[in-house]
A = this chain, B = another copy of it.
């Protein structure tokens, strides 16, 4: 108990600034806190009028954020303004060493973790663009025809390309036993890729079912390992874990294989 109190006193207070009710890009940030048991506040989902606070903080930051998610670190102060960091992989880069989610004392591995997380997030962005290929400010239904064309290209070539790439990475990292992308312990590249794969399976279940066997490390060792991670397992069955719905990853059967 004494240890825990000490820990709480010395750790900064973290606030996640993101849209409410959807996992979205905020989930990549939630996962690293949940995997390590570090307290954080999910402002939009946990505080009354939280989303307005999120929007204000993002605008008032210096530099302002282009879009959520952003991370607010209390106790930090930068040019008299709240310390706000934006861009998903940039937030993960900041938190990685603080949360023990990059290999310790291995400067180069940090760049490898960061690069892999960024590639996983590129995959996420492409999945989003499938249902919004023309205009993100219009509804899916207004660009459905184009989305169906993009869905064909994405399921036929892009999903296999990304799956194949990450399978190769897992294979090349001998000490990871198919469970970790870099080194032999959990990094934020793992939690990020895992969440992208969950989203891809939610949105394109037929495609994933059809090709999974071709990528055994990714589909079995890797995904299973995260699912069985003690703290993440607890989180995934809690009501803090938000289900996929109509955010980045959407299940429109007509866009699947």
Residues of B within 8 A of A89 (CB): 118
A153 is an interface residue with CB less than 8 A from chain B: yes
Given the complex, which residues of B lie within 8 Å of A143, measured CB to CB?
Answer: 149
| Residues of chain B contacted by A109 (CB below 8 angstroms) | 78
> What mask results when residues 107 to 119 of chain A are scored 1 for a CB within 8 Å of chain B, else 0?
0110110111011
Q: Does A139 contact B (CB under 8 A)?
A: no
Contacts of A125 in B (CB 8 A): 125
Let me know if A86 is at the binding interface, CB within 8 A.
yes
Complex: chain B residue closest to A77, CB-CB:
B108
Q: Is the interface of A mostly helix, strand, loop or mixed?
A: helix
A221 proximal to B (CB < 8 A): no
Tell me which residues from 125 to 154 in chain A have a Cβ below 8 Å from any Cβ of chain B: 125, 129, 133-138, 143, 146, 149-150, 153
Please tell me if A173 contacts chain B, counting CB pairs below 8 Å: yes
* Interface bits A74-90 vs B (CB < 8 Å: 1, else 0): 00101000010111011
Give chain B nearest CB distance to A35 CB in angstroms.
21
Query: What are the residues of chain B within 8 A of A136 when measuring CB–CB?
Result: 153
Are A150 and B133 CB-contacts (below 8 A) given A64-B165, A108-B76, A119-B87?
Answer: yes
Q: Tell whether A118 pairs with B146 under 8 Å between CB atoms, given A108-B76, A172-B62.
A: no
B135/A153 in contact, CB under 8 A: yes
Distance of A90 Cα from B135 Cα, bound (Å): 28
Residues of B within 8 A of A12 (CB): none
- Where the two chains meet, the residues of A that have a C-beta atom closer than 8 Å to any C-beta of B are 62-66, 76, 78, 83, 85-87, 89-90, 93-94, 108-109, 111-112, 114-116, 118-119, 122, 125, 129, 133-138, 143, 146, 149-150, 153, 157, 162, 165, 168-169, 172-173, 181-182
The 10 closest A-B pairs by CB, nearest first: A135-B153, A87-B115, A87-B118, A63-B169, A90-B115, A66-B119, A62-B172, A134-B149, A85-B111, A134-B150
Q: Would you mind naming 16 contact pairs between A and B with Cβ atoms under 8 Å apart?
A: A63-B116, A63-B173, A63-B182, A64-B172, A66-B122, A66-B162, A66-B165, A85-B108, A93-B93, A93-B114, A133-B133, A133-B134, A133-B150, A134-B146, A134-B150, A143-B149
